Amino acid sequence: NDAHGHPVGDLVLRGVAGVLAAEARATDLVARYGGEEFALVMPETDGEGALVIAERMRTRLQETTFPTEAGPLRVTLSLGIAAFPDDGVEKARLIEIADGCLYHAKRSGRNRSARSIDLSGGRTPC
């Protein structure tokens, strides 16, 4: 939005949503969480399985070019993963951990996925 304006930003966000939805399984829920953030709910999927799916989505998105009036654009995806019940049993706790992992992924170079267990060697938040 800052570099190319809201119409281009909206087009890219719709494209990102399309890629995520196309890569999601029928049981998964993909939703825009706010701004440029998305949430994916993957029932009956543990952290390891969520990482596999997240990486598939991340790779697909980085290979996608969005044609816009500002020219072709490519974007990347940073993901934070929290798994029920390993990382928490309450919605607020799972969101807190996923958000912390997301920011860890961004601080660590972007275009990557992060799980708390992989980062700390244990079950603690990012």
List, by residue number, the catalytic residues.
36
Distances (CA, A) of 112 to 58, 89, 106: 7, 25, 8
Q: What is the H or E stretch that residue 29 is in?
A: strand 29-34
d(CA 36, CA 44): 26
> Strand 29-34 relative to strand 79-81: parallel, antiparallel, unpaired?
unpaired
Name, in order, each residue with C-beta under 8 angstroms of 93's C-beta and a sequence gap of 6 or more. 82, 87
């029920």: which residue's tokens?
A: 84
């816009």: which residue's tokens?
A: 68
